[in-house]
Structure 1
Amino acid sequence: MNGLIGLLCLIWGFNWVFMKLANGVFPPVLFAGYRFALGALVLLAVCYFRKVPLPRWKDLKWYIVCGILQTMYFNLAIQISLEDLSAGLTSVLTYSMPLWLTLMAHFWLPGEKLRLRKLAGIMIGIIGLFIAMDAHWGGSTGALLLAVSSGLSWALSNLLIKRKLAGSDMLQFTTWQMVAGAAGLLLYSVIFEHGKSHWGVMPAVYVVFSGVVGSALAFVMWSYILSKVEASKASISLLLVPVVGVVCGCLFLKESLNSVVAVGIVLVLLGIWLVNGGGKPKAEASAER
């Protein structure tokens, strides 16, 4: 499981580079629509060859809701935020998701109560968010809040997965939520966006990598991890994603990292670690492995 988690963090962290670059050649939401439409097509093909049945209506309605939250709104908010924010800062604000998921889990998931350590982690994480947001990194307040809302949307989707879809086929779920989300993204783009796509070799690479690796493969991996691990604990696997995103932004996009933003990022990561990491009895940790 640790190897799978590490691979997922590398994929999603590096994918921020392509997502940022894609905004220079595609309307932002249209790119997300292309990405998830391709990912959905790949997963539909996999379901066909593996003879995965069509979802039942009682599951399909939740697949659609999660598709709107986890794929449509989540990525719409990210791509629009990337118009004004750096890839590094956007990834940190988006991956504040474990903080919000832990708060939600306290009220709606049995056995995941908010302890003093978790409360301290949430407070430190939120302080870090405000520090990172106050530094602005050249972005508007609206873009900052939109990036944070993407994390909230993803947390709500993960909560629904644990409450309503615990026994579902994760390949089936990932496929159909992605179909619903891709349809919503493309519909939004048709109605509200008016820019042009500039196709070429590299733009095609952005779509293919983000669609096949960063969407189809990565979301199957995440759904599998979430189905096997406690919700508030599963999110610790995402700690490395914003770190990888910030490092990749500096290496490949020449993004700057000032000291104030660095402090905010460290506090966010520390808060998430306090919420989800450490303090687990050895026997419990051994049982999970």
Structure 2
Amino acid sequence: MSADFLLLAAAWGSSFLFMRLGALEFGAWSTAGLRIVIAALAMLPLLLLRCDLQLVRRKAVPLLLIGMLNTGIPFALYCYALQHISTGLTSILNASSPLFGALVAWIWLREAPSRWRLLGLALGFVGITLLSWNKVSAGSEQTGWAVLACLGATLCYGIAASCTRKYLEGVPPLAIASASLIGAALLLALPTAWYWPTRSPGLTAWGALIVLGLVCTAWAYILFYRLIAQAGPAKALTVTFMVPLFALLYGALLLGEPITPAMVGYGLVILLGVALSTEFIQPERWLRRQPRP
């Protein structure tokens, strides 16, 4: 396991902590908007120096769409959720994003899953249902809306993945990341200003947003695409399995959040489903290797 892999998992795992710290004072929309603006400004030099700007202009509309589906809307939904549920629970629900990606690809792109991927989808959604039901039944109405917000964010990620494959084929990942961030920043400018807090946020909230934008978004995207170049997209995506571990650790140590047996058990079911649905685990290969009697 490379150092880049662990650094990326640690950065993305900490994003839930910093979103919570920012959202408590800035609110959901302003936190999401400022995070994206800071990240977009950091990525702008890379877009100008290393990307084909003519290609970016030709793909402006799908890039704006991807920006809203892959950053703008999900970030705002997570910021809303983190005002009502723990960072650990949010990170576990976020880990289900590949399940929604596989489901959307099946429905929209007609990519029929194999029997093992189908089993993974079923397991993953059973885990999501049980975890969500456990939290909603024990919490308030706001808890229910927060869980739905997390699932809405993961669905956005799933739609964004299929949109990227359908409309942005041949566009380099770095161009997609930087241009979509800039597009999302422009589109979120109005709600960010509209929902700006009436009371001036403190230094903790501002610091959280700066780290969110520079480290958890811009730097993490660069690290992620470097991992893709070094190890391939399939292995790079396995960072999904490590992010909840870091988020749970940060939440427990820094915020005093409890880690319940239900979160651990249902979270493992979800991760098993993700592993099967993304073919990180391939039982058919193992079965083929078994000696025949």
Query: Aligned-pair distance for 1:78?
Result: 0.6
Residue 78 (structure 2) aligns with = 78
Residue 130 (structure 2) aligns with = 131
Match of 2:156 among 153, 158, 163: 153
Distance 2:115 2:236 in 1: 19
Residue 285 (structure 1) aligns with = none
**Superposition pairs for residues 1-289 of structure 1, below 5 Å?**
3-50=3-50, 53=53, 55-108=55-108, 113-136=112-135, 138=139, 140-192=143-195, 194-200=197-203, 202-222=204-224, 229=232, 235-276=237-278, 277-279=280-282
- For residue 118 of structure 1, what is the amino acid of its counterpart? R
Distance 1:76 1:95 in 2: 17
The CA RMSD over aligned residues, in Å, is 2.7
Distance 1:183 1:56, change over 3 A: closer
Residue 286 (structure 1) aligns with = none
Query: Aligned-pair distance for 1:204?
Result: 3.1
Query: Aligned-pair distance for 1:133?
Result: 1.0
Distance 2:48 2:118 in 1: 45
Distance 1:230 1:206 in 2: 29
Contact preservation (8 Å) 1:135, 1:261: no
Larger radius of gyration: 2
Distance 1:155 1:222, change over 3 A: farther
Contact preservation (8 Å) 1:170, 1:220: no
Q: Structure 1 unaligned segments of length 5 or more: list them.
A: 283-289
Distance 1:184 1:29 in 2: 12
- For residue 191 of structure 1, what is the amino acid of its counterpart? W
- For residue 271 of structure 1, what is the amino acid of its counterpart? G
Distance 1:224 1:187, change over 3 A: farther
- For residue 37 of structure 2, what is the amino acid of its counterpart? A
- TM-score w.r.t. length of structure 2: 0.84
Distance 2:80 2:54 in 1: 33
Local SS of the residue matching 1:8: helix
- For residue 68 of structure 2, what is the amino acid of its counterpart? I
- TM-score w.r.t. length of structure 1: 0.85
Local SS of the residue matching 1:25: helix
Distance 1:142 1:150, change over 3 A: same
Contact preservation (8 Å) 2:32, 2:79: yes
Distance 1:114 1:195, change over 3 A: farther
- For residue 98 of structure 1, what is the amino acid of its counterpart? P
Distance 1:157 1:25 in 2: 29
- For residue 166 of structure 1, what is the amino acid of its counterpart? E
Residue 290 (structure 2) aligns with = none
Query: Aligned-pair distance for 1:264?
Result: 1.5
Q: Structure 2 unaligned segments of length 5 or more: list them.
A: 287-293
1:193-220 deviation digits (Å, cap 9, x = unpaired): 55434132x3332122111111112234
1:133-183 deviation digits (Å, cap 9, x = unpaired): 122274521111111110010111122222222311322221221112123
Distance 1:281 1:221 in 2: 31
